[in-house]
Amino acid sequence: MRPMRIPPDHPLLLRIVDDLAANGWSQQNIFLTDALTLELAAECRKRSERGELAPAAVGRGLTQEVREGIRGDRIQWLEAGEVTACDRYLELMDSLRQALNRGLFLGLEDFESHFALYPPGAFYLKHIDRFRDDDRRMISTVLYLNPAWLPEHGGQLRMSLRDEVEHDVQPIGGCLVVFLSGEMPHEVLPSTRERLSLTGWFRRRGDDPF
Q: Are strands 166-169 and 157-160 parallel, antiparallel or unpaired?
A: antiparallel
Binding partner of 26, given ligand OGA, Mn ion, none, CB within 5-8 angstroms per partner class = none
Binding partner of 53, given ligand OGA, Mn ion, none, CB within 5-8 angstroms per partner class = none
- DSSP, collapsed to helix, strand or coil, labels residue 185 as coil
Closest CB to ligand OGA among residues 8, 176: 176
Minimum distance between the CB of residue 104 and ligand OGA, rounded to whole angstroms?
21
Closest CB to ligand OGA among residues 124, 202: 124
* Distance, CA of 13 to chain centre: 15
Q: Which range of residues in 18-26, 90-98, 107-115, 122-130 is near Mn ion by CB under 5 A?
A: 122-130
Binding partner of 188, given ligand OGA, Mn ion, none, CB within 5-8 angstroms per partner class = ligand OGA
Residues in the chain: 210
- Phi then psi for 47, rounded to 5 degrees? -65, -35
Binding partner of 94, given ligand OGA, Mn ion, none, CB within 5-8 angstroms per partner class = none
- What are the CA-CA distances from residue 55 to residues 33, 117, 164, 181 (Å)? 29, 9, 31, 22
* Distance, CA of 44 to chain centre: 14
Minimum distance between the CB of residue 205 and ligand OGA, rounded to whole angstroms?
22
